[in-house]
């Protein structure tokens, strides 16, 4: 894989943006062209979707998934996410030739937790949506890894933020929606590079010698 191409590296922010683009397309294909809305986890945005308005007179809430990055730390060198022993700053990776210059590549690993909340107006629909989402993330893990994600898997169920139960979440938002939540772990790599002109490298070597 060419690490200088965008497809060879995916940050956690790239991941959630790609999730927001791809998930509705696959959901529509799997569910008779049904609508799915994927949004950042901000209450006002979700409430506005479900509000009655000129464009939405019945206050219909389509299948809705919200996402939030709830934990992000430098990548561990241990066997499990967030283990002690972390690489706390970018490290040198390699020098790559490009045309008449060299590219010096630096990188850093990050461990991330992303909370995914599935919203509906009924318990049954919320259960169906979170079940579909679990299957989608397993089936399409290869797609995100081909885009540059290093690792991803189911971390736990339930809510980490805005309370730990559906009742607490509803009280916090003061809305009638049903929610089912899960948290996914993703390991990402952020890359930086700088140009090293050959002539500068030659001069440096001569000075050192």
- CA dist., res. 203 & res. 173, Å (int): 63
pLDDT tens-digit readout, 134-161: 999 999 999 999 999 999 999 998 776 5
Tokens for 175? 């809305």
Tokens for 192? 């930086």
pLDDT tens-digit readout, 42-77: 655 555 554 444 344 345 788 999 999 999 999 888
Pairwise pLDDT comparison (165 vs 37), residue with the higher score: 37
- CA dist., res. 115 & res. 160, Å (int): 7
- 24 pLDDT more than 90: yes
So what's the pLDDT on residue 133?
97
So what's the pLDDT on residue 144?
95
So what's the pLDDT on residue 25?
96
């Amino acid at each position: 894989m060419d690490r200088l191409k965008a497809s060879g590296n995916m940050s956690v922010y790239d991941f959630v943006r790609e999730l927001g683009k791809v998930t509705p397309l696959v959901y529509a294909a799997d569910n008779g062209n049904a609508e799915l809305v994927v949004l950042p986890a901000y209450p006002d945005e979700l409430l506005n979707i479900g509000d009655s308005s000129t464009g939405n007179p019945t206050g219909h809430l389509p299948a809705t998934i919200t996402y939030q990055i709830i934990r992000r730390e430098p990548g561990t060198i241990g066997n499990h996410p967030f283990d002690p022993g972390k690489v706390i700053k970018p490290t040198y990776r390699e020098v790559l030739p490009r045309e008449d210059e060299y590219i010096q590549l630096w990188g850093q690993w990050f461990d991330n937790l992303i909370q995914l909340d599935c919203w509906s107006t009924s318990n049954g629909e919320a259960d169906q949506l979170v079940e579909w989402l679990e299957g989608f993330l397993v089936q399409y893990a290869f797609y995100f890894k081909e885009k540059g994600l290093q690792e991803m898997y189911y971390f736990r169920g339930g809510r980490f933020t805005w309370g730990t139960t559906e009742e607490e979440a509803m009280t916090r938002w003061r809305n009638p929606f049903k929610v089912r939540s899960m948290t996914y772990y993703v390991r990402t790599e952020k890359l930086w590079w700088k140009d090293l002109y050959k002539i500068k490298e030659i001069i440096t070597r001569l000075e050192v010698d």
